[in-house]
């Protein structure tokens, strides 16, 4: 049977991102929504294993879609939580090699921030904005994803992600996604992003 995926613990307390992201949202988002993606991925992988054992692939399209949706949801959330840090540890700007790469690829940090913010605000419906390392061209890019898995590119490595599904912000910000995206910059954990960048570059 496939390896069982598990919900990773939050790397900080539920209220650690206050006032930018509220405790109630973090509890629901992590304990309910992310867990739902973990369970959905495990279910899909179990059903695909069952299909292989029985040689019955009548529902292959359904379970492959489920694996893509829930798997992408699980993996992106597993990046999202450590991408953030409590006030005092989060926010500001990156330094070192990551800062240099951002300036090289976007013109400046402010230009990158403007593009990332605009991309996050422009996602249609539910989805994500992502800063990624593109290994083929060896440069950073900003991408968006609808749901968790649509509009993405093969081979890229996500470094910084923001969840713009309504469940990520609606309790505190209602329909004001732009206010939530602006608040997100106060909790970005640039140390985590930099570690991902170093690992992705190889």
Question: Is the pLDDT assigned to residue 110 strictly greater than 90?
Answer: yes
Q: Taking a C-beta distance cutoff of 8 angstroms, is the pair 134, 106 a contact? A: no
CB 80 within 8 Å of CB 158: no
User: Under a CB-based contact definition with an 8 Å cutoff, are residues 194 and 94 in contact?
Assistant: yes
Mean pLDDT of the 116-125 span:
97
Strand order across the 127-134 sheet = 139-146, 127-134, 157-163
Report the percentage of the chain scoring pLDDT > 90.
Answer: 97
Quickly tell me which residue has 């061209």 as its tokens: 137
Tell me: pLDDT of 2 over 80. Answer: no
Q: Tens of pLDDT along 53-101?
A: 999 999 999 999 999 999 999 999 999 999 999 988 999 999 999 999 9
What distance in Å separates the CA atoms of residue 193 and residue 137, rounded to the nearest whole number?
19
Mean predicted lDDT score pLDDT of the chain:
97
Question: For the whole model, what pTM was predicted?
Answer: 0.97
Domains and CATH numbers, the chain: 23-80 (1.10.287.990), 96-201 (3.55.40.20)
């Amino acid at each position: 049977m496939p390896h069982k995926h598990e919900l990773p613990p939050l790397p900080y307390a539920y209220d650690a991102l206050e006032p930018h992201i509220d405790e109630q949202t973090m509890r629901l988002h992590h304990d309910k929504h992310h867990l739902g993606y973990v369970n959905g991925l495990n279910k899909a992988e179990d059903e695909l294993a069952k299909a292989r054992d029985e040689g019955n692939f009548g529902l292959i399209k359904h379970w492959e879609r489920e694996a893509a949706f829930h798997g992408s949801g699980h993996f992106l959330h597993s990046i999202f939580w450590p991408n953030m840090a409590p006030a005092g540890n989060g926010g500001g700007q990156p330094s070192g090699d990551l800062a240099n790469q951002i300036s090289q690829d976007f013109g400046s940090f402010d230009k990158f921030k403007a593009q990332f913010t605009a991309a996050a605000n422009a996602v249609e419906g539910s989805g994500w904005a992502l800063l990624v390392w593109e290994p083929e061209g060896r440069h950073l890019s900003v991408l968006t994803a609808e749901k968790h898995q649509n509009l993405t590119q093969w081979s890229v490595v996500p470094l910084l992600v923001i969840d713009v599904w309504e469940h990520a912000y609606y309790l505190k910000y209602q329909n004001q996604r732009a206010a939530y995206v602006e608040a997100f910059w106060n909790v970005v954990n640039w140390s985590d992003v930099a570690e991902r960048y170093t690992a992705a570059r190889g």
